[in-house]
């Protein structure tokens, strides 16, 4: 276990170090930063590295086997209504448990947090049921995506502009570090009992469909809820004078995030306990291992959230504001792209997805190729988001062509890559996006005098959209490579056969 933990720490260090160095470089060049704020950021980076390592280890040991076990067991239950009910409850529970959703809910204070959270949770629960039924009854993923995304775009025309960006953002934040490992593992478990040749392809796509439910739910909330105009809570950069104050700030904040993670994990653990009592899926040693894994997950996620919320969120806001006021506001676009390229590597759920893809494709799509594709996609999305902050152009001008192009590519891309691509969109927009990139955009927008709700919000949905394109393009390249490899192998086999025939003819002569 110690060896695996060391590997996870090295992986986390390589993920967090690039963005840390970029911020350090900016702090001594374009955006001079108070020493106290910089120390906050560095301590946050350390907590990120340790937290990500333990979280990653914990999900491998607990969330993944538990999700696969539930996914394999559910279809064996003869009562379809019971399966639907259980799936809906799972979807609601894991969504309420998602820390990113708490962050988004806090940004829209005119809607009570509970109203927004339950709206999103019900949306995820309903579409989780749909995703489960799609896997069991072999419904084509691309068809469902086309129908529902067209429905989203039509419905958004009847919603106040302030709600549109929040709705699209809600689809991204619900698929974070708690949700993704569990949903993806459950998808693999569901597909494993089918045994047909398309089962592997259908193991992906659950995250993709679960990202649509919250968008539709919040759009409907925007139409019917009369709670006043949506607002937002501005990020404040704490003033700290020495390292003792930094330590106090983290010490005071840690219990809050420990409570948040504990309240998120307890419903899932209780559900898993009831599942085990009913179905007796796991033996004693497996349960012990899963219990230890949940402990690692709890410890890692508590440190991770404390690091990003206390250390990264205020620095993101500070950087965005300072860059906008530097007299070279156009730098927001290239620097935003650079930050986005490296920031996605620090998303915990991204590593979970990449490992699953490499395992399912037997190494045909490597973690490295997935990470490069995601990084390019997120870099483009942050660049476009900064362009929106500078110009105030509507999110529709980017989201509608982007989704139409992504849906169009589904007709040309291998089936498995459609699921991987749309899953990647939700996975890329995790806690790093909501606690660093969103404050970064808000800080820049405030400094430029823009409308934060229409110009800064939406960056999460942009981060969730562009991987749909880059991963599907990766799928096209992979398909071409495999076709050329097969053609070369076939040609070599034919040549070898011809040589054998010639040799036989010579022997007869």
Per-residue b or e along 392-427, where b marks 16 or more CB atoms closer than 10 Å to that residue's CB: eebbeebbeebbeebbebbeebebbbbbbbbbbbbb
What gap in Å lies between CA 170 and CA 122, rounded to an integer? 12
Mean pLDDT by 10 residues, the chain (509 residues): 80 84 89 88 91 86 83 76 85 78 65 80 91 83 89 86 78 73 76 65 78 89 68 66 86 89 84 85 88 91 88 88 87 91 83 80 81 91 92 87 90 85 80 80 89 81 88 85 76 73 66
What gap in Å lies between CA 435 and CA 313, rounded to an integer? 5
Question: DSSP character for 346?
Answer: G
**Residue 223 in tokens:** 């139409």
The closest of 338, 296, 342, 313 to 15, measured between CA atoms, is 342
| Secondary structure (DSSP) of 406-440 | HHHHTTTS-HHHHHHHHHHHHHHSSHHIIIIIHHH
What gap in Å lies between CA 249 and CA 242, rounded to an integer? 11
Q: How many Å separate Cα 33 from the centre of its chain?
A: 30
**Residue 294 in tokens:** 């949940």
Write the CB contacts of 422 (distance below 8 Å, at least 6 apart in sequence): 141, 145, 205, 207, 208, 211, 406, 468
Four-residue CA torsion sign, 327, 330, 333, 334: negative
What gap in Å lies between CA 172 and CA 426, rounded to an integer? 5
- What is the phi/psi pair of residue 369, to 5°? -65, -40
The closest of 280, 342, 285, 270 to 45, measured between CA atoms, is 342
Question: What is the model's pLDDT at position 108?
Answer: 63
Residue bearing tokens 């040749």:
197
Contact 130, 240 (CB under 8 A): no
The closest of 414, 420, 426, 418 to 477, measured between CA atoms, is 414
Contact 413, 372 (CB under 8 A): no
Contact 168, 395 (CB under 8 A): yes
Per-residue b or e along 66-85, where b marks 16 or more CB atoms closer than 10 Å to that residue's CB: bbbbbbbbbbeeeeeeebbe
Determine the angle formed by the axes of helices 459-508 and 396-409, rounding to 10 degrees: 20
Residue 428 CA: distances (Å) to CA of 174, 209, 320, 335? 11, 15, 21, 19
Domain boundaries, the chain: 2-228+246-508
Question: What is the model's pLDDT at position 118?
Answer: 87
Four-residue CA torsion sign, 14, 19, 22, 26: negative
Per-residue b or e along 246-273, where b marks 16 or more CB atoms closer than 10 Å to that residue's CB: beebbeebbeebbebbeebbebbbebbe
Write the CB contacts of 82 (distance below 8 Å, at least 6 apart in sequence): none
**pTM value > 0.85:** no
Q: How many CB atoms lie within 10 A of CB 116?
A: 26
What gap in Å lies between CA 446 and CA 455, rounded to an integer? 10
What gap in Å lies between CA 449 and CA 387, rounded to an integer? 14
| Secondary structure (DSSP) of 250-272 | HHHHHHHHHHHHHHHHHHHHHHH
Please return the burial class of 127, using the count of CB atoms within 10 Å of its CB with bins 0-12, 13-18 and 19+: buried
Question: What is the model's pLDDT at position 332?
Answer: 92
């Amino acid at each position: 276990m110690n060896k695996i933990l060391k590997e996870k720490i090295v992986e986390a260090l390589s993920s967090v170090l690039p963005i840390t160095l970029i911020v350090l470089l900016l702090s001594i060049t374009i955006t001079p930063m108070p020493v106290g704020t910089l120390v906050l950021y560095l301590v946050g980076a350390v907590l990120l590295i340790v937290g990500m390592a333990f979280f990653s280890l914990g999900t491998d040991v607990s969330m993944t086997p538990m999700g696969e076990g539930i996914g394999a067991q559910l279809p064996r239950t003869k009562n379809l209504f019971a399966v639907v009910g259980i799936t809906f409850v799972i979807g609601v529970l894991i969504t309420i448990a998602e820390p990113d959703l708490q962050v988004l809910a806090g940004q829209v204070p005119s809607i009570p947090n509970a109203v927004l959270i339950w709206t999103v949770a019900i949306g995820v629960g309903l579409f989780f049921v749909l995703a489960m039924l799609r896997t069991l009854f072999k419904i084509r993923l691309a068809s469902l995506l086309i129908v529902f995304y067209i429905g989203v775009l039509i419905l958004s025309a009847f919603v106040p502009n302030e709600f549109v960006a929040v709705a699209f953002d809600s689809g991204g934040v619900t698929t974070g570090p708690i949700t993704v490992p569990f949903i993806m593992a459950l998808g693999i478990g569901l597909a494993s009992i089918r045994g047909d040749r398309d089962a592997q392809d259908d193991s992906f796509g659950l995250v993709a469909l679960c990202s649509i439910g919250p968008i539709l739910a919040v759009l409907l909330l925007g139409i019917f809820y009369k709670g006043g105009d949506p607002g937002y809570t501005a990020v404040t950069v704490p003033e700290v004078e020495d390292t003792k104050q930094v330590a106090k700030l983290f010490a005071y904040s840690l219990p809050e995030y420990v409570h948040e993670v504990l309240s998120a994990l307890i419903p899932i653990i209780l559900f898993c306990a009831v599942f085990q009592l009913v179905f007796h899926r796991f033996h004693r040693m497996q349960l012990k291992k899963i219990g230890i894994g949940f402990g690692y997950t709890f410890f890692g996620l508590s440190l991770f959230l404390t690091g990003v919320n206390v250390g990264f969120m205020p620095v993101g806001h500070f950087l965005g504001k300072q860059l906008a006021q530097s007299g070279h506001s156009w730098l927001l676009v290239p620097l935003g792209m650079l930050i986005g390229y490296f920031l996605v590597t620090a998303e915990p759920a991204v590593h979970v997805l990449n490992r699953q893809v490499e395992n399912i494709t037997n190494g045909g799509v490597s973690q490295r190729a997935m990470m490069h594709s995601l990084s390019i996609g997120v870099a483009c999305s942050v660049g476009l988001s900064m362009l929106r902050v500078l110009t105030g152009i509507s999110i529709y001008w980017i989201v509608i062509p982007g989704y139409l192009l992504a849906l169009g590519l589904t007709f040309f891309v291998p089936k498995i890559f459609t699921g991987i691509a749309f899953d990647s969109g939700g996975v890329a927009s995790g806690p790093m996006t909501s606690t660093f990139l969103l404050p970064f955009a808000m800080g820049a927008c405030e400094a430029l005098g823009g409308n934060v709700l229409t110009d800064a919000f939406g960056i999460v949905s942009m981060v969730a959209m562009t991987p749909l394109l880059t991963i599907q393009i990766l799928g096209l390249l992979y398909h071409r490579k495999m076709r050329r490899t097969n053609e070369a192998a076939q040609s070599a086999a034919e040549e070898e056969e011809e040589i054998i025939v010639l040799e036989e003819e010579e022997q007869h002569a």
